[in-house]
Chain A
Amino acid sequence: MPKKNESVSKPDGSKLHALWEVVALDAFSAPKSSSEQIVRKWDALKRLFQRSTTVGESPFKPESELQQLPHEFVEHLTGPVDWSAPLSAFAATINGWSGTAGEPAVVFMVGPPWSGHAKVLHAWAAALNVPCIKPPTTQDILRNNLDWMAPSPERSQFWIMPELERCYLRHAEGLEMVRSFLEQAMRGIYGPGIIGCDSWAWAYLQYVWPVPCSNVLTLQAFDASRLTRLLRQLSIARSSSRYCFKNASNGKTVLCSDDASTEINATVHQIAARCCGNVGLALSYWRAALRSEPEVPDEEESKKGADSSGDEHIVWLGRLPTSPVLPDECNEEIALLLHTLLLHNGLEEELLHKVLPMPHLHIMALLLRLLELRIVEQVAGRWHIAPLAYSGVCTYLRARNYLLDHFQG
């Protein structure tokens, strides 16, 4: 069913892939960088020996001479991604699918945390004005109550459920409802629909109720080329000023907002490879690395400066943040907690003790400690893995043989 998205020709005649591309899950191809792999292995070795090392090379702009940009200014420079942009790619991929006449009744859209697949589906539901199914309550899940998902009066009505991961709880009584839901959805009881699912939950659900993999889509990885274009788009979207992002370690220009060149800077390659093509993660790394010189105006002035047209602003890119070091002692409990958070794409604290073999207060003690280490964060009442800790957590869990998602290779 998935169809290849069209490519655009570069000025030099070579093909330039579309910014947003929707592909079959097996066609996902994460960007790789040999230097990034070496850096990762070196970091792993350093952690093994628990020794801190200092970088001998003297940077072009020492980090101590730069300051973190104000949050508002960072938002201004890398302002929100337009999640309706991938809709045309998605529509092109499933073009011709109606969910009837022997076709699969549902299409799955799977993506790793922060990759934006759920936001794309929300945007699509809003654009098409189709029902966007809200997840069931915990009580519905534990009581295997499917009333929250009433069959559509017209079975041809299209529906979208962006967050399948909210439809189960890794609990002995928390799996039956998602099985029933998937069975009925795939039989077409609810009519044709699109179901979004976080990749970690998807990996787990393969053991709960194996889903056929022929109709599973994902957003193609953001390689360095796509990431460069997206960063340019974001930096010019909200300002007419020209921004030049320069690497603080060597002074070289990483990208400029109005630059049309197709040259890719090594730093962008590094970010794309470190984030395995995950666009949300890449933006988090990018935002965390942005720096300015102290004489650059404060919050108010910077906003003013950013709005003034015709100006050129230099924004420095400091060293990419490294993943926080996970505490080694009591590692089993920490691994269980982190893995649980990933499998549910975040959980409320009152549910954590239902799915973990630890008392509530002990879980809270671990969470608060991990919060201090910036490994987890609490967003809208749910505990999540912090974006900048994600790659470190994945490495940590991989080394301990835990179930990983499809995107961890």
Chain B
Amino acid sequence: MNVQFLFPKPPPSIEEVKDADGDIDMLLKSQRQKFETKVVTPGEVIAKDTQYMRGHGTYLDENETHLASVAGVVERVNKLITVRPLNTRYTGNIGDLVIGRITEVSNKRWKVDINSRQDAVLLLSAIHLPGVQRRKTEADELQMRKFYSEGDLLVAEIQGSFQDGSSSLHTRSLKYGKLRNGSFLIVPPTLVQRTKSHFHRLDCGVDVTLGLNGYVWVSKPSSRVLNEMSEDDSEYIYSNENEPIGKDAREAIARVCNCINALSKSYMSITDTTISYAYEASLNFSVKEILKLESIELIANQTKQRLKA
């Protein structure tokens, strides 16, 4: 039997083009542009070329044409084509900051809803225990609801993931923990980008915590500066009591919430910059006017223009 080895060689139509970093790009610039921020709907043809690799959110038909299986943005890494869905559940990555809601208290752990396909797990050993730094005791196990009970909102970091794909959380720093003094809202998780910090203090005197899972907490800044060593403070982080919130602060929180909703409705990315731009654009309206579709459009347009400038 005659065996012939075929050596891999680049398809003839592709020229080797060097980009700014001197890397060899396998696609021509014109071809590359085809993929840049291209929004597709399910069944839409992405590429007819057979040289590409099929990634998430795509499928091949009988003619080996790449089609989108979800509505989203086409992304390409060399030859791998994927479609990132616009509307999707959150998939946890280690180190991500998320906001979650406790759904269940069970044996030495809490189940936390983080807008993912499965509830995340927060182990009793992964929280900041009150008092001086110590090991968890049996007493802690018996009073788990004193720390977090069903319905509580918390901000946490993803520590790792389990075999089945669910995430494990931790709240060991004083940055993390129970959420108070504010209002909760949900945006599509794709709109929140990974940044250096997800805790923002806006100029209008409102704190915003952007969870990568699309859960957002808008609150009045706490008047208390927490100290890791103080015993009082470590009790305080599990308190359910709100501080008194004045009417002005409440209005500012409501305005920021409505601005974030306006951004998410116009499908714009949500960062501290876009929020403050939208906030400034919204000052022409009263807080409840921002709920109207026309004002949402106006605010979104102004924000877009300022972003371009």
Partners in one complex: no
Q: Which residues of B contact A (CB under 8 A)?
A: none
Residues of A within 8 A of B (CB): none
